[in-house]
Amino acid sequence: DWLFTTPLLLLDLCLLAEADRTTIYTLIGIDLFMVGTGVAGALARSGQTIRVVWWAISTGALLVLLYFLFETLSEQASRLSGERAALFARLRNLTIGLWLCYPVIWILGTEGGTGLFGLGVETALFAVLDLSAKIGFG
């Protein structure tokens, strides 16, 4: 569902920030690349090393995306005032904070290979993150 929900969350942020089309397309493009490489890592069955390589590529894309959120989109949102500016900052910070948790949970869980916690805990943590990101954003 991330192929649909994460671009929509980003689009909402962009519209709130009154972002230009280039910024919108850039953020959504990076997001789709991030999700796609994350899926490749989750589905890879040719060994743990390749899964971690895909995780690193996806996490790198996430960091680029978050940079754009924090710098480029925030710069465009700087024209906002009052409640709208405060709402943008709150939603941007919520998105950044929660989205940073995803790669950490994956690499620490059984899917990422370190096995610090089992698949059940990993799945539950992802569910809590998904609910927090989507309901908290709404």
pLDDT of 59 reads 97
How many angstroms separate the CA atoms of 22 and 72, rounded? 11
pLDDT of 11 reads 96
How many angstroms separate the CA atoms of 22 and 38, rounded? 24
Span 2-137 CATH architecture: Up-down Bundle (1.20)
pLDDT, tens digit, for every residue of 58-100? 999 999 999 999 999 999 999 999 999 999 999 999 999 999 9
| Alpha carbon distances (Å) from 28 to 44, 85, 116, 135, 138 | 24, 22, 32, 20, 19
pLDDT, tens digit, for every residue of 90-126? 999 999 999 999 999 999 988 777 889 989 999 999 9
pLDDT, tens digit, for every residue of 53-68? 999 999 999 999 999 9
The answer to whether the CB of 66 falls within 8 A of the CB of 38 is no
pLDDT of 137 reads 76
pLDDT at 33 over 90: yes
The answer to whether the CB of 38 falls within 8 A of the CB of 21 is no
